[in-house]
Amino acid sequence: MSEIKVLMPDKTERTYPQGVTSYEIAKSISEGLAKKSIAAIVNGQVIELNRTIENDIQEFKLLTWDDLEGKSTFWHSSAHILAEAILYFYPKAQLGFGPPIEEGFYYDVDFGDEVFTQSDFEKIEKKFLELASSGETFVRRKVSKQEAIEYYTQNFNPYKLELISELEDGNITFYESGNFVDLCKGPHIPNSKIIKAVKILNLAGAYWRGKSENKQLTRIYAISFPTQKELQEYLHYLEEAQKRDHRKLGKELNMFSFHEEGPGFPFWHNNGMIVLNELQNFLRKKLYRLGYEEIKTPLILNDELWRKSGHYDNYKENMYFTEIDEQQYAVKPMNCPGCTIVYRTELHSYRDLPRRYFEFGHVHRHEMSGALAGLFRVRSFTQDDAHIFCTPDHVENEILNLIYLIFDIYKTFGFNDVSVGLSTRPEKYIGELTIWDKAESALKKALETAQVSYHINEGDGAFYGPKIDFTVRDSLKRKWQLGTIQLDFSMPYRFGLEYVGNEGNNLQPVMIHRAILGSFERFIGVLLEHTAGDLPLWLCPLQIMILPISDKFKNYAEEIKIELENHDFRVSVDNRSEKIQRKIRDAEVQKVPYMIIIGEQEMSQNLIALRQHKFGDRGKLSLSEFIQLFKEEIKQSYQYQTH
């Protein structure tokens, strides 16, 4: 029998008989490892443990529940069991998609005339666990296109038939588990018995394949785990996440609101504007020091600009249009075309480059009403945008400086767990291959020079250039994609941007797009949930609340307020005729960092009694001592740590 060579993760090489399975390889290493394994990565592809291997392996990794790919496989198989449980009670239901997602899985289902509600969750969960405990295996079967069509014609399902029509013959597989058969490319877990807990989370409407002209299906979200304990921990995490919902916190802290007069358009209140302005001023100071120039481009520009930029052809359905003087205009969905106009108002030499423009640009994009989600998905938002025009030789150093800047800013907000992805040239691209290779090499070199670990998203770059994406984990371990750095060869070409090279020839600059926070709206939503509303001291809308015990001490309280405001602290006095305990409780609810309590003793001794949000009494001290303490606390709050 022929043998194959397997390069193990520790770079040692082993030989096995041709036709060996990943499970047999795992067992040869350790019985315990074989028992824990869910699937395997073989030469870059995730496959089942029982799939036979016929050729040498240059990349081999056994996957467990602790691996992202392992969880994805676990949840993929769980989606099949969920579908089987649904069909048990609703045999006429037609299935659409059922993929794993970042946390759990979903299945899109057409229930026809029947109605599926939350009251059905419990019976579906019970059936799911019954099926899982029976020990279903997932059997892969390759079928011809004709066989697949005949199956879903006989077991009528127009959604699966549509998918099959787009597949090539020879690349179609079914998976069978228990009494359930599904069109699926896999992979799956070896046995359903390892699934011990499940929870259906919620329902949503979802257009088939995400297109509004298609029928709306019922999307059933769920999650499963290998143990009941892990499910309980997850449900506790969900409960905590609900407490931190930025929409709830935004209302409690009087920062922003949404109204039916403008769905998807946030209304910013005074407290929210303070946070927004402080964020912008924070970034503005950093960027000025780094040689950036601030610009502001018009909100509305004629449609010729958007045709030239390519947005009209590729993004028209997400744009808002209006007519001025019988000519069509568009409300800008992005800032970059306007920035190119600013660049071309001057002649540029290679000696002038790089030119770094930043813009806190207000943009509008049409989102489907069902996709709107507080500040996370809105129709009007402000980007912390910047565009750098440079020579190809500048690219690596500019990228390196951006990487340092992005990590520095994230650290300020307590985002210390950052993952980085490099997206490379897609199948369809513009520009010369040599420029792409040089650009990708520059991005890789910058990341390596900065000693940043990164993963490659092969072929996932934009058609106009490769990019780097930055994803942070918040205090609840959730992931948020915030920053991005993109190289663009398209827009300088489309708009005829040039600079004079060292030989007097006209050359095309490289355009670097970058955002750090993404949008101020979404970032504020993320930050509120990350901090549970306890914002860093420098960013708090109200930093100090003065609480006079009675009306007798109002004048003294006002004198203290004026003195603190002279130091640019944000201060308010609670002059309500309420008991001091009520005033303290209300200030705690509003998450005011410091409370100054004024009574007879404090006024007579020219002191203040200090309380700190969450920590309680800080003792008595003079106003000058407090001012010094507060300034020090402000400095420290720029290296924010979540609790």
Question: Active-site residues: which are they?
Answer: 336, 365, 383, 385, 387, 467, 513
Residue in 237, 239, 256, 235 with CA at minimum distance from that of residue 247: 256
- In DSSP terms, which residues pair with 515 in a beta bridge? 385, 484
Tell me: cis bond preceding 548? Omega within 30 of 0 counts: no
- Whole-number Cα distances in Å, 321 to 226, 316, 337: 51, 9, 16
Residue in 458, 493, 579, 477 with CA at minimum distance from that of residue 530: 477
At 391, which amino acid appears? T
SS3 call for 150: helix
Q: What are the residues whose beta carbons fall under 8 Å from the beta carbon of 269, sequence distance 6 or more? A: 254, 255, 256, 257
Q: How far apart are CA 219 and CA 466, in angstroms?
A: 34
Report which secondary-structure segment, H or E, holds 308.
helix 303-309
Q: Tell me the Ramachandran region of residue 533: left when phi exceeds 0, alpha when psi lies from -120 to 50, beta otherwise.
A: left
Residue labelled with tokens 């979903």: 106
- In DSSP terms, which residues pair with 473 in a beta bridge? 479
Structure token pair of residue 303: 């449609």
Q: What are the residues whose beta carbons fall under 8 Å from the beta carbon of 597, sequence distance 6 or more? A: 547, 549, 580, 584, 608, 609, 610, 611
Q: How far apart are CA 19 and CA 16, in angstroms?
A: 8
Q: How far apart are CA 42 and CA 56, in angstroms?
A: 10
SS3 call for 154: helix
Rg (C-alpha) for the chain, rounded Å, is 29
Q: How far apart are CA 346 and CA 266, in angstroms?
A: 37
418 CB neighbour count, 10 Å cutoff: 17
Q: How far apart are CA 607 and CA 622, in angstroms?
A: 5
SS3 call for 102: coil
Q: What are phi and psi for residue 126, nearest 5 degrees?
A: -65, -45
Alpha helix stretches (DSSP H) within 210-295? 228-243, 246-252, 270-289
β-pair type (418-423, 455-457): parallel
Report which secondary-structure segment, H or E, holds 164.
helix 158-165
Asked if residue 491 lies in contact with residue 314, where contact means CB atoms within 8 angstroms, the answer is no
Residue in 101, 97, 104 with CA at minimum distance from that of residue 218: 97
- In DSSP terms, which residues pair with 329 in a beta bridge? 302, 322
SS3 call for 296: coil
Asked if residue 297 lies in contact with residue 330, where contact means CB atoms within 8 angstroms, the answer is no
